[in-house]
Structure 1
Amino acid sequence: MSNKLPQNFEDLISKAQDLELYSKFIQQINKDFLLANIDLDFETDILPSSLKYLLHEEIFKLIQNKFAEYLNLLYIIDVSEHKIKQLDGSDTLKLSENVTFLVLQREWQKVWFRKMYS
């Protein structure tokens, strides 16, 4: 099994579904958002397109209106500060889309590692 991180949303979702880890992936997202005190709770059978849309919307709102909570969320999820700093911050919509993927990628990594090393 490849340890390579998925490079796009579709790849990530297909890996999660192939390994039957999609519901664990959603649970991990819910757990970290709860730890960050962000009121977002997904059903474990949420459609991937809805997950992406709602998560993107939430991250966009956090960047716009609750920057401290946004930073706290990134810290709790453990998104690479280096990767965040590489993003172009001039367009908030594009930035939030890229951050959404980094969040999903990191959450996937946690679930994948737990599965591989448990």
Structure 2
Amino acid sequence: MQLPSTFDALVEEANHLNLYKKLVHQLNKDFLLANLDLDFHEDILPSSLKLLLHEAVYKLIQEKFADYLNLLYIIDVPEKAIKSLQGDDTIKLAEEVSFLILRREWQKVWFRNCY
């Protein structure tokens, strides 16, 4: 499996395989497992999903760092990928982490669909 390198490529592939709603559902499921009160509607536009997820991750980094770490653990975002990010700009960091979250969720949905 070749992982998408951009948000747009990820959404395009999810839509092409008719798995976008499952991606949103998986994201909701993992946020619920992390005890975070964030629920995306299954018909959310990709641009809105990106914006809301970015905002949520930013708030977690700023205000609830332990919950942020718990979310990354539950979603199973690779620690190596997180450590390779630059932490100078929190807004940029939150954007990059949001993409890593979506990419990991996409992996789960894709594998479940294929196997």
TM-score using structure 2 length: 0.99
Partner of 1:111: 109
**Offset of residue 112 of structure 1:** 0.2
How many angstroms apart in 2 are the aligned matches of 1:67 and 1:91? Answer: 16
Partner of 2:5: 7
**Offset of residue 7 of structure 1:** 0.3
Q: In structure 2, what residue type is equivalent to 1:111?
A: V
Alignment root-mean-square deviation, CA: 0.4
1:59-113 deviation digits (Å, cap 9, x = unpaired): 0000000000000000000000000000001110000000000000000000000
User: What 5-or-longer segments of structure 2 have no aligned partner?
Assistant: none
Q: In structure 1, what residue type is equivalent to 2:50?
A: K
**Offset of residue 52 of structure 1:** 0.2
Residue correspondences, number? 115
Q: In structure 2, what residue type is equivalent to 1:75?
A: Y
**Offset of residue 14 of structure 1:** 0.4
User: Are 1:94 and 2:92 an aligned pair?
Assistant: yes
- The structure 1 segments of at least 4 consecutive aligned residues displaced by more than 6 Å after TM superposition are none
How many angstroms apart in 2 are the aligned matches of 1:15 and 1:39? Answer: 28
How many angstroms apart in 2 are the aligned matches of 1:13 and 1:45? Answer: 13
Partner of 1:28: 26
How many angstroms apart in 1 are the aligned matches of 2:87 and 2:78? Answer: 16
How many angstroms apart in 1 are the aligned matches of 2:85 and 2:76? Answer: 16
> For 1:88, what is the secondary structure of its paired residue?
coil
How many angstroms apart in 1 are the aligned matches of 2:77 and 2:4? Answer: 15
Partner of 1:68: 66
Partner of 1:39: 37
**Offset of residue 34 of structure 1:** 0.3
Within the candidate set 19, 34, 38, 2:17 is matched to 19
Partner of 2:76: 78
**Offset of residue 17 of structure 1:** 0.3
Q: In structure 2, what residue type is equivalent to 1:32?
A: D
